[in-house]
Chain A
Amino acid sequence: MKYIPLVWAALRRKPVRSALTFLSVTVAFTLFGLMIGLNATIELVAQRAHADRVWTFLRFDNSGLPIAVAKRIATMPGVKDSTVMIYFPGYVGDPKNRVFVIMADREYERVYPDQGLTQEQWQAVHKERDAIVMSQKQAALWHKKIGDNLTIISPETTRADGTKTWTFKVVGISEDITQAPAGFIIGNYDYYDKSRPLTEQGKINEVDFLVRDPAQAVSVGQQVDRLFANSASPTLSDTEVSAMSTNNFGGMDVKAITRDVSLAGLLMMLFLTATVIAQSVRERRAEFATLKTIGFSDSALMALVVVEAALPCLVGAISGMAMAAWLAQHLQALMPPNFGLPAPTMSASVIVWALASACAVALASTALPVLRLRRMDIAAALSGRA
């Protein structure tokens, strides 16, 4: 504790330098925090993948999977629950403002208990035909509250009367979930289906089902694909775990990118702290020699130097992480709508990891000056000859 005033005095000797070091460390850690936070999110999504969930879609097409396939899958041995899924695409006002609505049937909540809707919200979706529940992000994006109408124009989806304008009523605002970085909207499948022309009714995008035994998920998926291989609608099934663990955001290797960027940031910081601390020690050789003369041990001096380097690093790391956490919440607003990168997670382990990196940088950057101090010739240093 008695060293604190000494360290403080050293930092205050060149206030501009200390402030700048602190600022550049803050900036580097903002980036570092965002990068490892993003990585943490990706891992979180992969971890949250349900081992018993399987997705089945049309193998070669997106013209629509007949609902008969869903009914057949539901009766297969090993399948516990199954739901049909429609991705309803469209835009709000201007073609640039794209939205998607997931049209869910009554089984959907059993297959997706992690969707973020409450029991009441699920009931509300099924009670009124044109009802939708928006997640908070989507509600904020389109400035909607409960009771409002949301009008979506869907060039791809004609109604039975030939129009392409769909008006929905917001009956609930739900929590957002990590799996849907841009938020989500849930609608009523029956309403959707009955509103389509007869020739289009009963066509779905996806059958999602739960298997009784997660260990059998892959093989049940394969059974489904074999069953429909020679039908008019060959299917492709993937377990959620396999889909999520290789989730590559449009083919980008996000993990490699975040790793390289954060390494570059750390390297830059290491170089900066190292020169600053080396300079600071060099300028104060006489001072350190005095401390040695009045009985400070080598390890005490070492501690002084390390703490002097670590303080701006740690404080910078903390403020950088705070900055990253703030940015993480506002990142989505910078992206084109519905082009979401998942929001970085600022979990405890992410913060610990950042602080550990800050300490490592501080230690590494002081290695050389500390060695020099140990070998210092006191008489030479005091006389200014060194």
Chain B
Amino acid sequence: MTMLRQIVIVSLLNFRNLRQRLWQSLVIVAGMTCVIGVLLSMLSMTEGMHQAQLNYGDPRNAIVVSRGTIFEINSAIPRDKARIIMSAPGIARAQDGSPIADPVVMVGVPTRMKKNGGRTWITLRSFGEKGPMLQPKFHMVAGRMFRPGTHELIVGNLARFQVVGVAVGDKVSLPDGEWPIVGAFATGDMMDGQLVGDTETLMPSLRRKAYTTIQARIASPAAFATFRGALTSNPALAVDVMRLPDWNAKSSADFAKFMRVIVYGVGVILAVGALFACFNTMYAAVESRSREIATLRALGYGGFAVAVSVVLEAALLSVTGALIGASIAWALYDGALSGLGSDVFTLTISPPMIGTAILWAIAVAVLGGIAPSIRAARWTVSEALRVR
């Protein structure tokens, strides 16, 4: 108990005279501000993107792709196979008894980036009859739904932030001429950056004989095994069947890893720099307080209490810096729209990310403060009084 009291008293004493070491102490604060500001800004992008990919579509759905498909858009499922797949057991039924399954056509439509005019492709996907039913988050926010059988498209309400020529009323150039955009929708996921048209109208226009994928609502979590078993045991189909969340995780894993290597690589390098700065500052702080430390020791305060107070001071400064950095990143980026290619997503700085930032700050403070604190604790009273 006395030990704890000593720590509290010495630390409070420290914090109170921090003002005398203001500029020095600011090195730690500024250092961590930079580290965490950069780390969280970059993380807000990678994690926002990853989250959007994971939340893509309804988690109750399963996706059927041709066997070995890596990128969704490269899958191909011929019409005859699609019919077999959509009548497989395990699919949920609509009120009229028909299976809730829908073939999807996907195609990249060339367009240009709004920011720099660079070439990019916006994803055009299709809805059949059951399309909206499979996307419960889907709702129109402007204009109207396309009429099945006509050359009309609707657009996600965020697409226009990323690419040109996709506002309601614009026309999109497709093989069968110019298709007007008649409405805008929102789903709250990656579809918000895409175009949607009618499956059976797009197929002949794109001269396709195969759909890209099939999505189906699974009747119950247990029914997935039935559904998958029925499809994969039929060698003629040659398809892979996955739960949509699993498929999303698989397709974004490589890119997420790539991004994380970069982001954490940059973060760690910056943090090591901040660590040296912290070490330096605490070292100087201990020296400038040598007389005070000697007096405390002479009064009977233990070396451990002094050492802990040094680390606590470093932690206080470092966490302050981290919080400033996190606030700056949060103010600049949280909730902001961003995009990668034509994919649009919202940047997020989540509480766990801020937690990570504080952990990093404490780690830097402990690693940087430990050596100076040991030095302070080891001083004998007479030595400490002699340090200039």
Binding site for B on A (CB under 8 A): 16-17, 20-21, 23-24, 27-28, 30-31, 59-63, 89, 95, 98, 155-156, 164, 232, 234, 236, 238, 242-243, 245-248, 250-253, 257, 260-261, 264-265, 267-269, 271-272, 275-276, 278-279, 334-336, 339, 341
Contact = CB atoms under 8 A, between A and B. Distances in A.
A248 B113 contact: yes
Contacts of B219: none
A335 B273 contact: no
Given A334-B265, A336-B261, 12 more contacts: A20-B279, A24-B280, A31-B270, A31-B273, A61-B107, A234-B175, A246-B118, A260-B41, A265-B270, A267-B30, A275-B23, A334-B261
Given A20-B280, A60-B109, A268-B273, A251 B34 contact: no
Nearest to B116: A246
Interface size range of chain B in the complex: 35 or more
B34 A268 contact: yes
Contact of A265 (B34, B69, B70, B258): B34
22 contacts: A20-B277, A21-B276, A24-B276, A31-B269, A60-B109, A95-B70, A155-B67, A155-B68, A155-B70, A232-B207, A242-B119, A246-B116, A246-B118, A251-B120, A251-B341, A253-B115, A264-B37, A278-B23, A279-B24, A335-B258, A336-B257, A339-B255
A261 B283 contact: no
Interface in B153-203: 174-175
B339 interface: yes
A61 B254 contact: no
From B41, B119, B269, name the one whose CB has the most chain A CB atoms within 10 angstroms. Answer: B269
A279 B284 contact: yes
Nearest to B41: A260
A241 B31 CA distance: 40
Nearest to A21: B280
Nearest to B31: A268
B107 A246 contact: no
B9 interface: no
A189 B23 CA distance: 67
Interface string B201-244: 00000110000000000000000000000000000000000000
B208 to A, nearest CB: 8
B283 A251 contact: no
Interface string B43-80: 00000000000000000000000011110011010000
A265 B273 contact: yes
A61 B207 CA distance: 10
B358 to A, nearest CB: 19
A31 B255 CA distance: 22
Given A20-B279, A251-B339, A260-B41, A27 B68 contact: no
Contact of B269 (A30, A62, A246): A30
A62 B107 CA distance: 9
Contacts of B269: 27, 30-31
B74 A250 contact: no
Contacts of B270: 27-28, 31, 264-265, 268
B377 interface: no
B21 to A, nearest CB: 10
Contacts of B30: 267-268, 271
A17 B284 contact: yes
A165 to B, nearest CB: 13
A232 B356 CA distance: 54
B262 A341 contact: yes
Nearest to B207: A232
A267 to B, nearest CB: 6
B118 A248 contact: yes
Contacts of A275: 23-24, 26-27, 281
B335 interface: no
Please give me the 6 A-B residue pairs with the lowest Cβ-Cβ distance, nearest first. Answer: A155-B68, A246-B118, A251-B341, A24-B276, A251-B340, A27-B273
Contacts of A164: 68
Contacts of B69: 155
Contacts of B266: 31, 261
Contacts of B34: 264-265, 267-268
B313 interface: no
A275 B272 CA distance: 18
Contacts of A278: 23
A252 B27 CA distance: 32
Contact of B110 (A59, A63, A264): A59
B67 A17 contact: no
Contacts of B272: 27
B174 A17 contact: no
Contacts of B117: 246
Contacts of B257: 336, 339
A60 B108 contact: yes
A279 B279 CA distance: 15
A27 B274 CA distance: 9
Nearest to A266: B34
A59 B69 CA distance: 21
A251 B67 CA distance: 28
B312 interface: no
B200 to A, nearest CB: 17
From B174, B270, B276, B342, name the one whose CB has the most chain A CB atoms within 10 angstroms. Answer: B276
B102 interface: no
A95 B67 CA distance: 12
A267 B38 CA distance: 12
A236 B274 contact: no
A338 to B, nearest CB: 9
A157 B174 CA distance: 28
Contacts of A98: 70
Contacts of A59: 110, 175
Nearest to A340: B258
B101 interface: no
Interface string B249-267: 0000011011001100110
Given A16-B283, A236-B110, A271 B31 contact: yes
Contacts of A260: 38, 41
B343 A251 contact: yes
Interface string B105-136: 00111100101111110000000000000000
A283 to B, nearest CB: 9
Contacts of B107: 60-61
Contacts of B284: 17, 279
A268 B277 contact: yes
A257 B109 contact: no
A276 B276 CA distance: 12
A243 B23 CA distance: 49
B144 to A, nearest CB: 25
Given A28-B273, A236-B110, A278-B23, A257 B280 contact: no
